[in-house]
Structure 1
Amino acid sequence: MKIASIGSGNIGGTLGKQWAALEHRVMFGSRDPHSEKMKLLLQVVGANAQAGTIMEAVAFGEVILLAVLPSDVERVLAEAGDLDGKILINCTNRYDGTSSDAEVRRLARNARVVRAFHMLPWEVLANPRYEAGTATAFLSGDDPAAVEVVAKLASDIGLDPVEIGGPDAMAKAETAIGMIWSILAPKFGREYSLSVLRR
C-alpha cells in the first residue's frame, strides 16, 4: 500500500518506519523535503520511504496519515486540497478543550476520515507488545471500509485495533482515557498503555 505521512516527527516518523519495514511504500510530506532532518529519517526508514512536498505526498498516498502540530492542521489541509475519497488518518491532538476530530472533518475536503493512533505515545507505537499483552489502538470513523483498512494497518504493526463507533463515541473515549492518562502516566511513564481484554 502507498501511505503518505504528513508529518515526520515522533508519531509520523515512527509509524512511517513501521509500515515501510512491512513493505508498504511511504512518502513523508514536508515543507522542506530536502532538509537534513528528513535525510536522516530516510536513512533510518530505508528503501521503501521517500520525501516530497505535502501536495506530492497527498497525490502519492492511498492512505494519508495526518500527524502534525495542532497549529499546522488548517494550513496543511488547505495545501492538501481535495482528497477525492482517500482515507485520512487523523492522529492530531489538541489540548485546549476543542475537538481535533471535528476540525479535521470540517477541513479535509472529500476525505474518508478515521480517528486513530492519537491516544498512544510514540514509544508505544514503536513497540506495542508487552509481556502481558498488546496495546490497544482505538479507532472511529463513519466509513466502515476505511476503518477496516486502518485497523489492518494497526494490526500489521502489532497493535490490537478496537473500533468504538463514530465521533461522539470517540470523544467520550478521549475524555475517559485522558483522565486515566493523567493519573497513570506520572506513575508508569510514557511506555504504559491500555489493553482491552474480551472473551
Structure 2
Amino acid sequence: MKIASIGSGNMGGTLGRRWAVGGHRVMFGSRDPFSPAIHELLQAAGPNAQAGTIKEAAAFGEAILLAVRPEDVERVLAEAGDLRGKILINCTNRYDGESADHEVRRLARNARIVRAFHTLPWEVLANPAYDAGNATAFLYGDDPAAVTAVARLAADLGLDPVDVGSADAMAQAEAANGALWGVLSPKFGREYALRVLRRS
C-alpha cells in the first residue's frame, strides 16, 4: 500500500519506517523534506521511503497517517487539501480535555477516518512483541473497509488489532488506558503494553 506519514517524529517516524521496511511504499510529509532529520529517517527506512511536502504526501498516500502535535492538526490538514476517498489514520492525542477525534472529523470531513495507534507509546510500536504475545492496538472507524485496511496495517507491524466498534467505546478504552498508564508506567516505564485475550 502507498502510505503517507504526515509527521516524522517518534510516532510517524516509527510507524512509517516500519511499514517501509515491511514492503509498503511510504512518503513522509514534512515542512522541510530536505532536513538532516528526514535524511536520517529515509536512510533507516530504506528504498521504499521518500519525503515530500505535506500536500505531496497527502496526494501520494492511499492511507495517510496523521501523527502531529495537537496544535498542528488544523494547519497540516489545511495544507493536505481534499482527502476525499483517502483513509486517514488519526493517532493524535490531546491532553487539554478536548477530543482529538472530534477535531479531526470536523476538519477532514471527506476522509475515511480510522482512529488507531494512539493508545500505544512509540517504543511499543517499534517492537510490539512480548513473551506473552503481541501488544493490542485498539481502533475504530465508520467505514468497515477502511477499518479492515488499517487493521491489516497494524497486523503487518506485529500488533494485535481490536476494533472497539464505536466512538463511545473508544472514548472508554482511552479513559481506561489513561488510568492504567498512571498506575503502571511508574512501575514498568514506557515499554509495557496491553494484550486482549479472547477465546476463539
Instruction: Supply the distance in 2 between the matched residues of 1:169 and 1:12 (Cα, whole angstroms).
Output: 25
Match of 1:188 in 2: 188
1:81: Cα distance to partner?
Answer: 1.4
CA distance in 2, matches of 1:156, 1:111: 23
1:62 aligned partner, one-letter code: E
How far apart, in 2, do the equivalents of 1:44 and 1:117 lie? Answer: 21
- Whether the 8 Å contact between 1:124 and 1:193 is mirrored in structure 2 is yes
1:166 to partner: Cα distance: 1.6
| d(CA) in 2 for partners of 1:32, 1:3 | 19
Q: Which structure 2 residue ranges, 5 or more long, are not aligned?
A: none
Q: Percent identity?
A: 75
What is the match of residue 88 of structure 2? 88
Cα displacement string for residues 4-61 of structure 1 (whole angstroms, at most 9, x for unaligned residues): 0000000101001110111100000000001111111111111100000000000100
Q: 1:95, CA displacement in angstroms?
A: 0.6
Aligned length: 199
Which residue of the partner structure matches residue 166 of structure 2? 166
Deviations 1:89-121 (A, max 9, x none): 000000111100000010013000000000100
What's 2:68 paired with? 68
Equivalent positions of 1:10-159 (< 5 A) are 10-159=10-159
TM-score, structure 1 normalization: 0.99
SS across alignment from 2:51: strand
Q: Per-residue deviation at 1:153? A: 0.2
In 2, the alpha carbon distance for the partners of 1:182 and 1:144 equals 33
Residue of structure 2 equivalent to 1:2: 2
What is the identity, as a one-letter code, of the residue corresponding to 2:131?
A: E
Query: Given the two structures, how large is their TM-score scaled by the length of structure 2?
Result: 0.98
- CA–CA separation in structure 1 for the residues paired with 2:82 and 2:45: 28
What residue ranges of structure 1 are gaps of 5+ in the alignment? none
Residue 198 (structure 1) aligns with: 198
Q: Deviations over 1:120-173 (max 9, x none)?
A: 001100100101111000001111110000000000110000000121111111
- Poorly superposed stretches of 4+, deviation over 4 Å: none
Letter in 2 for 1:67: A
In 1, the alpha carbon distance for the partners of 2:146 and 2:166 equals 12
* Aligned-pair CA distance for 1:67: 0.2
Residue 8 of structure 1: SS of its match in structure 2?
Answer: coil
Q: Which amino acid aligns with 1:191?
A: E
CA distance in 1, matches of 2:90, 2:170: 12
